Structures are given as structure tokens and as C-alpha cells.
């Protein structure tokens, strides 16, 4: 996490904080373009690590909205609730295909740039994406509902 912090600071972002070992980073920037911020971070990570590191940027308001969606969608009967955070908003066709993966006690619900994997009874332990939603997505990263809540509580 120290390397991530240093890397983010090296390209001019300030107020840099990380959240445990999740790879989540909070920072301040005067830049307004999410795409430009992602590009700058990806260049810095590639220079530091020697390989491409796809980067997904969410504003505090977006994180708070994902956390609110988690609160609305989460049910104690779920065995797991994972959230795929997406680099880009999926097309309506992709949303339909993703939500069409829902079967039995397992559902996929897409809200903006987040796909919620709501896994019920019969969930196979250790499988983050038993519905194979990720194959329909471009750049994505996965977090548990508890990490989403913790990040929103900590930073938003």
C-alpha cells in the first residue's frame, strides 16, 4: 500500500490514503476528467510496476451511491454480496445480459457503474463470480459489500 500511495502522490494527487490491503485509494485532485485521472494513474502504475494496471476511479458521491445501493439490495439471507465496480457504464444490452444471468437464489442487479452479485442459498464457497458476469464486462474490480460500506463510511 505504501507503493500505491507513493505512486499516486508522484503524479500530483494530494491527501492520499489507502484502505487496508484492498487496493482502494482516496486522493484529492483539481482534475475534473475521470478518464484523464485514470490515464495519469495508469501511466504512473505502469512506470512503477513495469506492467499495465487498469485503474477505476469513482468520486466520493459515486462510492456513497454504491454503498446506498448495497444497503437497499443486501439481504441477510444472502450467502455473499459482491460488487463489481466497472470502469465504464455498461450499455443497456449489457445490463440486460448481466441481469439475465440471474438464476434461482442468485441475482445480478446493475446500478450505474456497479454490478451487484447477490448470491443466495447454494453459493459455492470461494467463487466470487459463479454466474460468470465478469465475462460480459470490460475493466472491472470486485469488492465485498462490507468493503464498499467501510470505504463509504471512512471517506464519504
Res 119: pLDDT? 95
Q: Mind listing the pLDDT tens digit for each residue in 81-121?
A: 999 999 999 999 999 999 999 999 999 999 999 999 999 98
- At a CB cut-off of 8 Å and minimum separation 6, what does 116 contact? 69, 70, 73, 81, 82, 83, 84, 107, 108, 109, 110
- The per-residue pLDDT string of the chain (156 residues; one tens digit each, 9 = 90 and over) reads 788 999 999 999 999 999 998 889 999 999 999 999 999 999 999 999 999 999 999 999 999 999 999 999 999 899 999 999 999 999 999 999 999 999 999 999 999 999 999 999 888 877 889 999 999 998 999 999 999 999 999 999
Please identify which residue in the block is written with the cell numbers 456497479.
Answer: 114
What is the reported pTM?
0.92
- At a CB cut-off of 8 Å and minimum separation 6, what does 93 contact? none
Q: What angle do CA 105, 111, 115 make, to 5 degrees?
A: 55
Rounded to the nearest 10 degrees, how much is the dihedral formed by the CA atoms of 22, 23, 24, 27?
150
| Domain 72-155 grouped into CATH 3.30.70 | yes
Q: How many CB atoms lie within 10 A of CB 62?
A: 17
Domain ranges of the chain: 2-49, 72-155
User: What separation in angstroms does the CA of 136 have from each of 93, 96, 99, 101, 111?
Assistant: 10, 11, 11, 10, 15
Amino acid at each position: 500500500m505504501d507503493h500505491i500511495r507513493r505512486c499516486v502522490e508522484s503524479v500530483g494527487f494530494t491527501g492520499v490514503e489507502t484502505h487496508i490491503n484492498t487496493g482502494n485509494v482516496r486522493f484529492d485532485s483539481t482534475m475534473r476528467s475521470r478518464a484523464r485521472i485514470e490515464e495519469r494513474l495508469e501511466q504512473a502504475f505502469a512506470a512503477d510496476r513495469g506492467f499495465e494496471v487498469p485503474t477505476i476511479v469513482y468520486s466520493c458521491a459515486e462510492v456513497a451511491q454504491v454503498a446506498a445501493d448495497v444497503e437497499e439490495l443486501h439481504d441477510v439471507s444472502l450467502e455473499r454480496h459482491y460488487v463489481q465496480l466497472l470502469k465504464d457504464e455498461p450499455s443497456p444490452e449489457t445490463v440486460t445480459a448481466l441481469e439475465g444471468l440471474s438464476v434461482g437464489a442468485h441475482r445480478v442487479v446493475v446500478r450505474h457503474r456497479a454490478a451487484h452479485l447477490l448470491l443466495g442459498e447454494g453459493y459455492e464457497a470461494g467463487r466470487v463470480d459463479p454466474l460468470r458476469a465478469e465475462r460480459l464486462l470490460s475493466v472491472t474490480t470486485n469488492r465485498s459489500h462490507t468493503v464498499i460500506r467501510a470505504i463509504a463510511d471512512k471517506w464519504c
